[in-house]
Amino acid sequence: MRILFVLALAVVMFMLIRRRLIDVDLSLPWMLALVVLGFTYNSYYVGDRLADLFGMSNTTTAVIFASIFILFGLILILLMAVTRMQRQQDLLLRRLAAAELAAQDARWARSGV
């Protein structure tokens, strides 16, 4: 059942990429996280090793903490992408404003004002 859940998430991710609803650059970290989470979710050995690494006696809590850590990293990647898009939008707005100002100056020069 757990493997089917991870496979279903992977299929959904591939469908979104194929329909170009998700950019490939942004989907790679998500796919890697899906593989890591699927592996930790299905392997008791990895869960036990994570619990030992975090110094916890409960394996489930260690897997949850690892999942939160991975999700935090993915959120940071998305934040960087949104920031890059906002910078590009600001640059385009500045160029548009400069072009509009130049056109307005040209109209005023022709009208003799």
Separation between Cα atoms, residue 77 and residue 16, nearest integer Å = 18
Q: Residue 2: what pLDDT?
A: 65
Q: Residue 113: what pLDDT?
A: 62
Q: Residue 88: what pLDDT?
A: 95
Q: What is the DSSP letter of 23?
A: -
Q: Residue 89: what pLDDT?
A: 96
| Tokens linked to 6 | 């991870």
**Contact (CB, 8 A) for 44 and 59:** yes
- Walk along the chain (113 residues) in steps of 10 and give the mean pLDDT of each run: 74 82 74 75 76 81 78 80 90 97 92 73
Separation between Cα atoms, residue 98 and residue 92, nearest integer Å = 10
Q: What is the CA radius of gyration of the chain?
A: 24
Q: Residue 111: what pLDDT?
A: 85
The alpha helices in the chain, defined as continuous H runs, are 2-18, 24-42, 44-54, 59-111
Separation between Cα atoms, residue 35 and residue 50, nearest integer Å = 16
| Tokens linked to 17 | 């990429």
